[in-house]
Structure 1
Amino acid sequence: MTTNAPRPEILRYTAFSSSPEGGNPAGVVLDATGLDDAAMLAIAAELGYSESAFLTAPPADLGGEGGGGNGAGAGRAYTIRYFSPKAEVPFCGHATIATAVALAERTGPGELVFATPAGIVPVAVTEEGGAVLATLTSVEPHTEEIAGTDLAEALAALDWPAADLDPAFPPRIAFAGARHLVLAAATRARLADLAYDFARLEELMHRLDLTTVQLVWRESATVFHVRDPFPVGGVVEDPATGAAAAAFGAYARELGLVPEDAVLTLHQGEDLGRPGELTVTLRAGDPRVHVGGTGTRIV
């Protein structure tokens, strides 16, 4: 940001909840024109949320209207970047949802296209019963094995005995815009008891290029409770994690843990006193994952 440039308007929204006290807060800058990396990082650090989102004009080859938050009409397109208080991240689901809700409140519902560092992410925004609902479509996902030594280190950092894992859910690294280690707890009590070694887990996550660790407990065939340690972002725990939800949906489908056509409900944030709900939709023949939820402005 140039010395004489005015400070941009910084909005605060929460995603995956219709209440400002629920879901995951995000900073949203609808016109980040003129902000350099250092300025965006400084704003994210000042806000202290797990991520903040910054919009600028779309790439020339993307087309569509938009840029700087001034676009209108169907197919509005933007470049979006995400910063945690410590670093830039390639993709953030909750900040994407928060930004889409903020745009819809200004220019109406419709189709949005975000050019993220991880790839192109379309978002459909609708109004239902007075609430704004945004659903993102992930980049194409994949999963990969985790080495036994790395898994052992992750469990040691979490202070989770291997016997406390659910054997029906093999540990994997899953990607749908960012990399997440998926670990499933055998009981809700195990998931609720989270007190980990911040520095130790952070070191492992940097080495494996992980954004969060997606901790999961299965309540029923389609209902899950999740928690996401996020030490690499300078945050102990993320209250609602859209990118991890997309990665988990891909993981669950690839391993045959849910049908190819499925709608999953993920509850997150309850243990933090910020309950949120994420809807993960899987469609047969569609490799991408769709993650949706409500959002609202934090006054």
Structure 2
Amino acid sequence: MSDEEILRYAAFSADPAGGNPAGVILDASGLSEDAMRAIAADVGYSETAFLTEDRGAGVYRVRYFSPLAEVPFCGHATVGTAVALADRQGPGTFVFVTGAGEVPVTVDDRRRATLTSVGARVSGLAGGDLQALLAALRWREGDLDPALPPRVAYAGAYHPVIAAASRRRLADLDYDVPALKSLMEARGWTTVQLVWREAGDRFDVRNPFPVGGVYEDPATGAAAAAFGGYLRELGLVPADAVVHLAQGDDLGRPGRLTVALTPGEQGVRVSGTAVPIAG
């Protein structure tokens, strides 16, 4: 596949130098799984999205690959792909058939995309897993915010949610890569959602992603959706909350994600802009 057919978009940012870059292949119908994996590794972003089938009426089968593995759902690559389609077809709504289920995405005329995740759910984090996770992160129990208890959240992929008691703790990310990768692979976790609550509806977040071959993901839509489900399930925000996440600042790639909860809706809405990356 030539470089011209591999699009690159920065998601959750209006600046190509910010947010999370994603590779986008709008016609991957002729690519094998091995070829997609090789392209994702060559692109080198945390994920590349491949539209493997156009089912008509704005419905597409999409697969997501990190440099190391396929993931069932990726939020930032979903946003980047939807905006890439809108740049060619005009604003509107697309439906992505992902490994986790159907994900509708609406794009407006300002390149702002809003995806609605599959149904979110939250489960407990076993004490042994928590201790292993903290050890791999090189955190102590005293580093945790007791108001935001550890859980595993899902909205298309699984993410442990671990809340820091201070911004300094969040900023100091220095984890044991082999230990965390091994634990995450054993438990089926995609990233770890590390959070710090700045205010009632504002959080700073970071996402280690060693299972994908990436030390840290700059902006993580799937984890944002899962985190929205976590906040709703634990009653930490109102049922109709709009929550703002800042991510990527510590990497020099600032991104901004908006999470919206709707009473009676099991999915979580995640919004952000995306722009092409030149070259």
Kept in 1: contact 2:24–2:48 (CA 8 A):
yes
2:137 corresponds to 1:155: no
2:150 aligns to what?
Answer: 171
Instruction: State the alpha-carbon separation in 2 of the partners of residues 226 and 136 from structure 1.
Output: 19
Identity of aligned residues (%): 63
Deviation at 1:33, TM superposition (A): 1.2
Q: Deviations over 1:137-196 (max 9, x none)?
A: 000110101110110000000000111100001100000000000000000000000000
1:68 aligns to what?
Answer: none
Quick one: which of 59, 64, 73 aligns to 1:82? 64
Question: Partner amino acid for 1:94?
Answer: H
1:140 aligns to what?
Answer: 119
Instruction: State the alpha-carbon separation in 2 of the partners of residues 37 and 25 from structure 1.
Output: 21
2:50 aligns to what?
Answer: 54
2:175 aligns to what?
Answer: 196
2:24 corresponds to 1:45: no
1:32 aligns to what?
Answer: 28
Quick one: which of 94, 117, 123 aligns to 2:76? 94
Kept in 2: contact 1:27–1:44 (CA 8 A):
yes
Question: Partner amino acid for 2:136?
Answer: A
Quick one: which of 100, 105, 108 aligns to 1:123? 105
Instruction: State the alpha-carbon separation in 2 of the partners of residues 14 and 180 from structure 1.
Output: 22
Deviation at 1:42, TM superposition (A): 0.4
1:113 aligns to what?
Answer: 95
Q: Which secondary structure state, in structure 1, belongs to the residue aligned with residue 13 of structure 2? A: coil
Kept in 2: contact 1:8–1:29 (CA 8 A):
no
1:71 aligns to what?
Answer: none
Instruction: State the alpha-carbon separation in 1 of the partners of residues 64 and 136 from structure 2.
Output: 27
Q: Which secondary structure state, in structure 2, belongs to the residue aligned with residue 212 of structure 1? A: coil
2:223 aligns to what?
Answer: 244
Instruction: State the alpha-carbon separation in 2 of the partners of residues 186 and 6 from structure 1.
Output: 47
The CA RMSD measured in Å over matched residues stands at 1.1
Deviation at 1:58, TM superposition (A): 4.4
Instruction: State the alpha-carbon separation in 2 of the partners of residues 85 and 249 from structure 1.
Output: 27
Instruction: State the alpha-carbon separation in 1 of the partners of residues 242 and 125 from structure 2.
Output: 27
Q: Over alpha carbons, which structure has the higher Rg?
A: 1
Question: Partner amino acid for 2:63?
Answer: R
Q: Which secondary structure state, in structure 2, belongs to the residue aligned with residue 35 of structure 1? A: coil
Q: Which secondary structure state, in structure 2, belongs to the residue aligned with residue 202 of structure 1? A: helix
1:293 and 1:6, CA in 2 relative to 1: closer, same or farther beyond 3 A?
closer
Question: Partner amino acid for 2:61?
Answer: T
Give the TM-score normalised by the residue count of structure 2: 0.98
Deviation at 1:56, TM superposition (A): 2.3
Deviation at 1:57, TM superposition (A): 1.9
Which has the higher mean CA deviation after the structures are superposed, 6-15 or 116-125? 6-15
2:19 aligns to what?
Answer: 23
Question: Partner amino acid for 2:246?
Answer: H
Q: Deviations over 1:79-132 (max 9, x none)?
A: 0000000000000000000000101111100010000010000001102xxx31
Instruction: State the alpha-carbon separation in 1 of the partners of residues 205 and 4 from structure 2.
Output: 34
2:34 corresponds to 1:13: no
Kept in 2: contact 1:224–1:266 (CA 8 A):
yes
Instruction: State the alpha-carbon separation in 1 of the partners of residues 159 and 107 from structure 2.
Output: 26
Question: Partner amino acid for 1:47?
Answer: V
Question: Partner amino acid for 1:261?
Answer: D
Kept in 2: contact 1:8–1:32 (CA 8 A):
no
Instruction: State the alpha-carbon separation in 2 of the partners of residues 145 and 6 from structure 1.
Output: 46
Equivalenced residue count is 278
Q: Unpaired segments of 5 or more residues in structure 1?
A: 66-75
Question: Partner amino acid for 1:118?
Answer: A
Q: Which secondary structure state, in structure 2, belongs to the residue aligned with residue 190 of structure 1? A: helix
